Structure 1
Amino acid sequence: MPARSETLPHRRAIIDRRLVADRLAALPDTPATLRQDATQILRAALADGRAEVARRLTEHPSRGREAAAAYAFLADQILRLVFDLAVERLRAEPARAASDQLVLVAVGGYGRAEMALASDVDIAFLTPARPSAWAEATIETILYLLWDLGLKIGHSTRSIDEMVRQARADLTIRTALLESRYVWGDEALFDEAWRRFNGEVVAGTARSFIHDKLAERDARHKRMGDSRYVVEPNVKEGKGGLRDLHALFWIGKYVFNTRAVGDLVGVGLFSADELRQFQQAENFLWAVRCQMHLITGRPEERLTFDLQREVAARMRYKDRPGRSAVERFMQHYFRTAKLVGTLTGLFLAHLDESFAARARLRLPKMRRRPRKLDGFVLDAGRLALPDEGFFLADPVRLIALFTLADRHGLEIHPLAMRQASRDAAAITAAVRADPRANRLFLELLTSPREPAKVLRWMNEAGVFGRFVPDFGRVVARMQFDMYHHYTVDEHTIHAIDLLSRIERGLLAEDHPIATELMSRIVARRTLYVAVLLHDIAKGRSGDHSILGAEVAERLCPRLGLTPAETETVAWLVRYHLLMSATAFKRDLADFKTILDFAEQVQSPERLRLLLILTIVDIRAVGPGVWNGWKRQLLGQLYEAAEEVLRLGHKQKGRAERIGAKQERLAEALGWDAARFAAYRQRMPESYWVAEAGDSLLANARMIAEADEAALPLSVFTQPDPERGATLVTVYAADHPGLFYRIAGGIHVAGGTIIDARIHTTRDGMAVDNFLVQDPLGGPFDDPDRLDRIRTTISDALANRARLNDRLADKKPARIRAEAFHVEPNVLIDGKASNRYTVVEVNAQDRPALLHALAHALFQSKVTIHSAHIATYGERAVDTFYLTDLTGDKIAGTQRLKALERRLLAAAAGQTLAEPA
């Protein structure tokens, strides 16, 4: 195929092969120095060429295809110079035999004349038969020269017969050879190889090749997360990346022997407009990939957070109100990935038609033919259009297309999808106000089948964002943090899918309460609309919850919701973070926490709706975010708030719950009444409220054993797979500094504290319960690691090791987190609890952060009663319930300011100088 480098401007500024060849020719034929001197000349030419390509990319950062072609052109010239040097001087033969033929061929991506800075140079040496001694020696010389230049070479040596045999047997080899391109050597030999490849490998195998490449693509997508909208995408291999575009070209070339992407139009696989979109997508993705290689100096294909900011800056994206430069860049990236998906569907549809009428490649056949299609038709079992003007005649049909697909369980023909994309602009204000369109949309959104699948199609076609313009504003919008795994639109559709699966009973094991509550929900469609709108105002200036509620107040009446339903949706959007914030950042054993929460919720129906919305919102953030501990906290808050809303703002139920817990514990322990009564009296009421039954039982047995053995310190560990953590309990005489030393010991052992409940018995003993996870977010369960936790805690409390030195030796914060900056913030709330001062610290997450904060509290001479640790990617939110040393709330402006200063310094990793 013709090299793209032929259209490169000012090619000789990259490398002038004749000039370099002249310099090489001027070197004396001294065997001892020729190779070394030649390597220096070639290395300088390679470095100068790379610098020139980098300069051009810096000057014109969006010219990705040009940069890729320039690197390939540079590699071509270097390879030709090396080949000539080896053949003509280093391995010169005055009279070579007829069998001493050799051709150097570019394969793979290099064969397409596309390369990024750090890409491998994939080459093949072809010989007419088994390589002669001269050919083997020449190939070895060429490779050593290339390695001396620092090039990463992927190479093979084959006779033409071997090439044919291996290409037949191996799809990867066949694909690499499919893109082969002559570089240098015996051109007639290359022509013969290409003729035999087409005649003996390609001929008659088009269908199997298509099937295998699509299966290979699907497997690759699955490895990469199977979504175009992961926030750290793989530009080369990920869904919607360069490899997907390459796959289209491979199929076209294999089936129709096209030699360039532009030829796909001539054979009917792309329209001219689709070709333009293909080239735009390819150009952008190549620009991103080349920038990544240039920044890192290595073949980095994953667009990580730290690279996103740098690439955005190099490609000259600027901040806008409510949108940072990196978020605008990533939105462009995801829109491009979406376009690649659309092009793939259209390409395969054209390919279907080119093979045979109704001879589909992959999609299943219809089991039955729906009777009512409202003017739409079926094409090979897929929903299609009777003519190209069908949508424009009645734009409401753009919504009906997707509703009918859901209603009848139909796939949509890619050509109908293309027409929907083209005609989406016909959705005007009049269409958005049309009651028919809104009824159809609401039917789809609240479908009892699989609404998310079809909503995703609607989003891919651009119809979703046109019909709901506020949703269009969050399409492909990323949230630049380490917490959210998907773009806002993908997160929203995923949340709708989770809600649908809960309603259909498919997640009953994970969410038994939510599954049971769904059958009791009165305002079912209200919940679906609230899930749709909960993040609709992300990326705007201001609180997205408040702004989203305003969107709901405008949009819900248009969708046909009643005033009461609209009010409920707006409330749910406004307070969709309330339940998680309360459960994860507040002490649920403090009754005022429950009262304040219930006062905002006000009704049992709202509570049910809010719980389910909170669950699907958290789970839709990404894999690994949901765990058993969050399930338990949300369930505990739900039950306590439901009791308040049912019984009124009284603590009647609280006393009953405590009594029931104590009865169950007494039965499990089997102690006599006097012994259990004495134990019960030792523990404060807050202990009985805060701890779950299994923790109460573990604590009681541990305390009994420690008291019987007169142990001054007892450390207990018990893996808890249900919570996804390990319970670590410390029983010792209470004294100042106990908490921060325990926290330090746990971190030295490699643990992360996700929750801490600190209790002091009426006779002055500390019973501190910690939930601890390993570095991978799971429970410690290996006996040796559990023993290490117990040892490091004991050493920390006994001052047997220099705790600060051991903490300093731990690994620094994750590299990915360095792409972000979280400004430390301390919020002191004297009204959240009747008994405690509540302090919330927001900071950049890092190892031993909790230890640093706890030490600052120790220095401030306050008592910690509970600590609640929440992590949202790079952001840590640690909340402490505090009193002064006499057990009262912390009072005094100066004292509170001093507390705030110490915590801010600790959050920032600084040591605050104490006053003399």
Structure 2
Amino acid sequence: MGAEIDLADEEAASIFSASRIRARLAQGGYSIAAFRETLSWGRERLYSLFHEGMPADSLVHARAHLVDEVLCAAWQKFLPENTQGLTLVAVGGYGRGELLPHSDIDILLLHQGTALEQHRRGLEQMTAFGWDIGLEVGQSVRSVEECVSEAAKDITVITNLLEARLLTGDADLFRQMQQALTPDKVWPVQAFFEAKKAEQAARHRKYDDTGYKLEPNVKESPGGLRDIHTIGWVTKRLFGTQTLGELREKGLLSKQECDELFAGQDFLWRVRFSLHMLTGRHEDRLLFDHQIKVAELFGYEDDDKNKAVEQFMQLYYRTIKSLSCLNDLLLQLFEESIVQPPQGGEITPINARFQIRNGYLEARSEEVFSKSPWALLEVFLLLQQHGKIAGIRAQTLRLILRDSRLMDDTVRQSVQARSLFVEMFREGNGLTRNLRRMNRYGVLGRYLPPFGNIVGLMQYDLFHTLTVDEHILYVVRNARRFAMQRFRTELPFCSEVMDRLAKPELLYLGAFWHDMAKGRGGDHSDIGAAEAEQFCLDHGLSHPDAALVRWLVKNHLLMSLTAQKQDLSDPKVIAEFARTVGDRQHLDYLYLLTCADIRGTNPALWNAWRDSLLKELYNLTVRALDRGVDNPLRSEERIGEVQAKAMALLAARHFNDEASRAAWKRFDRDYFLRHSPEEIAWHLPAILAAKEEDLPLVLVDQIGGLGTAVFIYTRDRDHLFGLSTGVLARLGLTILDARLHTTDDGFVLDSYVVMESDNTPISNPMRFEEIRAALRKVLSDPEVSTIDVNRRTPQRLKHFNTPTHVHFSQDTARGRTILELVTADQPGLLSLIGRVFQKRGILLDAAKIGTIGERAEDVFYITDRMHRPITSDSALEDLREVLVRTLSRSETT
């Protein structure tokens, strides 16, 4: 046996002692069954010890020790003779002596001379035996020379070999390999460090440079265990250390920092152990499938404000934030040790407290923060004002981490601190980057306790893809991009509106405060609005500016809800929204905040269609404000304008005016309110040219890059909405909008806006034809009354319990009932709803379709068969019960 794993825990050392493991194997005659039973016994004992609360480091070391004994016993079984020139080596994580129940077991068979050929049969038997006993081993076979050659070419190979640990065999050969891989022979310290830094940066980019995703990878995401491994690899190469504990002995880490590092590592190990235990396989991703169960294993319970899973995930996110801090600190320390001397170099004074040394910001004394705690904020403003500063020097970062506790109420209320913080928003440049730094290093939450409360706070749904603090900073980032020249092509209209803002900092402050009050119970918009206004007044903003920020926070959801849930063709909707907004200034700020918020909530949520809805609402509101909110545009005026523009487009194509007007007499008023002149000019020629045998007429085309329009013109028939939406769902399409009209002579003019399931517009003409052919086939067959979508509900949707809620209201002005539905999203949902409507004799006038993560939030405008609103309480209650029963049943099938 080679290097022993230190089982510091007495109980683990007793249970997994070498003598006990060998006795179990011997008792079974070293048979396959004995080995299998020993591994199974070991795994079950580890599970029991986990539940009893044994520290994670003891668990992972005990598992590695168990595998050591099993492999060495197998070696002895199949290679009992002299094995000079042959060595069994543990590498990678196993080499570190860290194994979870289903971790990869990586070994290196090191050979020299003819030893490999002499023992080939025994080695082959041992490999097969490993599979027979259920030990999945990843094995490489190399000579010392091959190890050096492969290591020189590949940073991952040298990294794996740095972890090498002798298990059994020729110890001299193992030492030869170690001596051949020293920094003076392969991978010098600086080259190794630069490569590992680049490797970490690439890995972080793979996870969008954030560990705060809804389903993080405990090992690979930023702040995860791999970041700790990176520290370990660099210190081994740089200082020759074998354990992280030696960092403190060498004075590289303080006791507090070392405690944080080990506590974070232990927590992440326990999370990974839980995942392996729950899944029975190697699993490092905290998927929705597992989060609730892991939270239960950690002892969390739901409370009045947050679910158990949200409390657990907040601890997870706060842990990786702390580990990211330490990773920054140590890598910066290493860089300074390797690349440049700690002292000396070019110095540029900034003020009495700070200077720039070799391109990095540095405190001029160790007492700078203890004497002037408000300078904790000054650091980040200076980084904004001096954009070429590469970062913060390690020693200064250590002072920030040490002294951030000095940020108390006295400092928060000081003129210096308040002036510095609000100046960051006025400065603009570098705002997001430095707010993120402040958050990462704990200063932001210390200065603003409301922000500290939401650090790491997540919402257990598919809609909010980031923690609340990360979301807020993403929204600030999005707002900043509207003002930056290099991003003007991203959302040109937003950049145009941004140019008109007199005080962009008010938009940034609104973005910063809009979700600050989440997780406290009550309406976060109301709570946050009051706090935001007080913050602004405390920080020297005028009363009008503070009132504007308050209004933005209070109403930050208003524009998205209006655009996505209300009928923008209704002049009353526009007039009411314009009355709430009040003036162009408030509209500009709210429009930009809304765009920034949606884009920062869920990347999949923002698309060209939502962009167009918000832009349409903005332009309609501008017009309403210009006319005066007490002089709203009448429906007749808007219809006249739409028809005139459509007529001009048709005339340009040499289309007959009289034919157009004659056809339009068959169409209801809402058709012209809900369709653009371009759409009408697209529909009409096809309608007039269609003969009876051409029906159903189906048109499919792009609509200005906003989505794909599907238009159906045919004789009215039962089940039309359910059949149409069923076909579209079966094709894997997402329906964004539905506008349904019936002519006086019994024809339908139904329009849908669709996208592919990945939220991209359809661009392939063959796909257009597939949609058209599928709809014509089903709608032309009078025998077809239902569509089976035959698409499985995605696995991740099954982890959420979204009860079905139905709310009714009356649109008296337009003689229809509004049905608002919230339910679990599922394939073919609209087809199911259409089937219910048809059986109940309900006509659908229009629908606003919204999928919010795992939730469908749809609005339907309905009437009875006589085109009258449904006002009977009993009829509405009956409809509610049928919808709840139907949709709840469909979730479980």
TM-score (norm 2): 0.94
1:352 counterpart residue number: 335
Q: Does 1:695 align with 2:687?
A: no
Uncovered stretches (5+) of structure 1, i.e. residues with no partner:
29-36
Distance (whole Å) between structure 1 residues aligned to residue 154 and residue 812 of structure 2: 67
Distance (whole Å) between structure 1 residues aligned to residue 615 and residue 359 of structure 2: 45
Amino acid aligned to 2:544: A
2:737 counterpart residue number: 755
Work out which of the residue numbers 650, 659, 663 in structure 2 matches 1:679.
663
Distance (whole Å) between structure 2 residues aligned to residue 270 and residue 16 of structure 1: 33
Matches within 5 A, 1:489-528: 489-528=469-508
- Alignment check: 8 A CA contact 1:167 1:201 kept: no
Work out which of the residue numbers 861, 874, 878 in structure 2 matches 1:894.
874
Matches within 5 A, 1:435-834: 435-648=415-628, 649-652=630-633, 655-669=636-650, 670-706=654-690, 708=691, 711-720=694-703, 722-723=705-706, 725-799=707-781, 804=786, 806-807=788-789, 810-830=790-810, 834=814
1:323 counterpart residue number: 306
TM-score (norm 1): 0.92
Q: Does 1:840 align with 2:820?
A: yes
Q: Does 1:65 align with 2:57?
A: yes
Calculate percent identity across the aligned residue pairs.
32
Amino acid aligned to 1:265: R
Distance (whole Å) between structure 2 residues aligned to residue 802 and residue 100 of structure 1: 78
Work out which of the residue numbers 159, 176, 180 in structure 1 matches 2:164.
180
CA RMSD of aligned residues (A): 2.5
Distance (whole Å) between structure 1 residues aligned to residue 85 and residue 348 of structure 2: 65
Q: 1:191 to 1:815 in 2, by over 3 A?
A: same
Distance (whole Å) between structure 2 residues aligned to residue 709 and residue 858 of structure 1: 25
1:116 counterpart residue number: 100
Distance (whole Å) between structure 1 residues aligned to residue 787 and residue 713 of structure 2: 25
Q: SS where residue 699 of structure 2 aligns? A: strand
Q: What per-residue deviation string (whole Å, max 9, x for no partner) do you get for residues 464-512 of structure 1? A: 1111111111111112111122111111111111111102244433423
Shift in Å, 1:350:
2.0
- Alignment check: 8 A CA contact 1:126 1:160 kept: yes
- Alignment check: 8 A CA contact 2:183 2:189 kept: no
Distance (whole Å) between structure 2 residues aligned to residue 13 and residue 800 of structure 1: 77
Distance (whole Å) between structure 2 residues aligned to residue 194 and residue 510 of structure 1: 53
Shift in Å, 1:692:
2.5
Distance (whole Å) between structure 1 residues aligned to residue 45 and residue 786 of structure 2: 50
Shift in Å, 1:372:
4.3
Q: Does 1:260 align with 2:274?
A: no
Work out which of the residue numbers 834, 841, 851 in structure 2 matches 1:871.
851
Q: SS where residue 6 of structure 1 aligns? A: coil
Uncovered stretches (5+) of structure 2, i.e. residues with no partner:
none
- Farther-moved stretch of structure 1 (329-338 vs 343-352): 343-352
- Alignment check: 8 A CA contact 1:748 1:792 kept: no
Q: Does 1:237 align with 2:220?
A: yes
- Alignment check: 8 A CA contact 1:590 1:833 kept: no
Work out which of the residue numbers 20, 35, 40 in structure 2 matches 1:42.
35
Q: What per-residue deviation string (whole Å, max 9, x for no partner) do you get for residues 304-347 of structure 1? A: 12211111111112223312111111111111111121111211
Q: 1:27 to 1:238 in 2, by over 3 A?
A: closer
Amino acid aligned to 1:271: S
Shift in Å, 1:457:
0.8
Amino acid aligned to 1:55: S
Distance (whole Å) between structure 2 residues aligned to residue 450 and residue 765 of structure 1: 58
Q: SS where residue 181 of structure 2 aligns? A: helix
Q: Does 1:161 align with 2:141?
A: no
Amino acid aligned to 1:678: A
Distance (whole Å) between structure 2 residues aligned to residue 800 and residue 164 of structure 1: 74
Q: How many equivalent pairs are there?
A: 884
- Farther-moved stretch of structure 1 (298-307 vs 126-135): 126-135
- Alignment check: 8 A CA contact 1:130 1:159 kept: no
Distance (whole Å) between structure 2 residues aligned to residue 832 and residue 526 of structure 1: 39
Distance (whole Å) between structure 1 residues aligned to residue 341 and residue 703 of structure 2: 55
Shift in Å, 1:393:
0.9
Shift in Å, 1:911:
11
Q: What per-residue deviation string (whole Å, max 9, x for no partner) do you get for residues 803-858 of structure 1? A: 65632xx2321111222111111111225864321111001111111111122222
Q: What per-residue deviation string (whole Å, max 9, x for no partner) do you get for residues 183-216 of structure 1? A: 12222332232233227645x7111000111111
Distance (whole Å) between structure 2 residues aligned to residue 126 and residue 232 of structure 1: 39
Q: SS where residue 454 of structure 2 aligns? A: coil
Distance (whole Å) between structure 2 residues aligned to residue 864 and residue 144 of structure 1: 66
2:7 counterpart residue number: 6
- Alignment check: 8 A CA contact 1:100 1:132 kept: no
Work out which of the residue numbers 81, 86, 108 in structure 1 matches 2:73.
81
Distance (whole Å) between structure 2 residues aligned to residue 890 and residue 508 of structure 1: 48
Shift in Å, 1:651:
4.1
Distance (whole Å) between structure 2 residues aligned to residue 129 and residue 494 of structure 1: 59
Distance (whole Å) between structure 2 residues aligned to residue 400 and residue 26 of structure 1: 69
- Alignment check: 8 A CA contact 1:905 1:911 kept: no
Q: 1:525 to 1:15 in 2, by over 3 A?
A: closer
Q: 1:24 to 1:115 in 2, by over 3 A?
A: closer
1:376 counterpart residue number: 354
Q: What per-residue deviation string (whole Å, max 9, x for no partner) do you get for residues 145-190 of structure 1? A: 1111122211111122222222222211111000001112222332
2:207 counterpart residue number: 224
Q: What per-residue deviation string (whole Å, max 9, x for no partner) do you get for residues 666-717 of structure 1? A: 23322122112213333322222211333223222331232x4653311111
Shift in Å, 1:860:
2.4
Distance (whole Å) between structure 2 residues aligned to residue 466 and residue 205 of structure 1: 41
Shift in Å, 1:657:
4.4
Amino acid aligned to 1:9: E
- Alignment check: 8 A CA contact 2:63 2:100 kept: yes
Q: 1:804 to 1:74 in 2, by over 3 A?
A: farther
Amino acid aligned to 1:789: I
Shift in Å, 1:391:
1.0
- Alignment check: 8 A CA contact 2:354 2:363 kept: yes
- Farther-moved stretch of structure 1 (890-899 vs 670-679): 670-679
- Farther-moved stretch of structure 1 (775-784 vs 618-627): 775-784
Q: SS where residue 841 of structure 1 aligns? A: strand
Q: 1:137 to 1:386 in 2, by over 3 A?
A: same
Shift in Å, 1:374:
4.7
Shift in Å, 1:55:
1.1
Distance (whole Å) between structure 2 residues aligned to residue 171 and residue 566 of structure 1: 54
Q: SS where residue 198 of structure 1 aligns? A: coil
Amino acid aligned to 1:215: A
Distance (whole Å) between structure 2 residues aligned to residue 115 and residue 477 of structure 1: 30
1:276 counterpart residue number: 259
- Farther-moved stretch of structure 1 (541-550 vs 863-872): 541-550
Distance (whole Å) between structure 2 residues aligned to residue 588 and residue 199 of structure 1: 68
Amino acid aligned to 1:826: V
1:137 counterpart residue number: 121
Shift in Å, 1:655:
4.7
2:110 counterpart residue number: 126
Q: SS where residue 757 of structure 1 aligns? A: strand
Distance (whole Å) between structure 1 residues aligned to residue 210 and residue 890 of structure 2: 41
- Alignment check: 8 A CA contact 2:739 2:846 kept: yes
- Alignment check: 8 A CA contact 2:739 2:752 kept: yes
- Alignment check: 8 A CA contact 2:16 2:62 kept: no
Distance (whole Å) between structure 2 residues aligned to residue 74 and residue 726 of structure 1: 60
Matches within 5 A, 1:298-313: 298-313=281-296
Q: 1:176 to 1:190 in 2, by over 3 A?
A: same
- Alignment check: 8 A CA contact 1:274 1:343 kept: yes
Q: 1:289 to 1:81 in 2, by over 3 A?
A: same
1:32 counterpart residue number: none
Distance (whole Å) between structure 2 residues aligned to residue 302 and residue 107 of structure 1: 23
Distance (whole Å) between structure 1 residues aligned to residue 461 and residue 788 of structure 2: 30
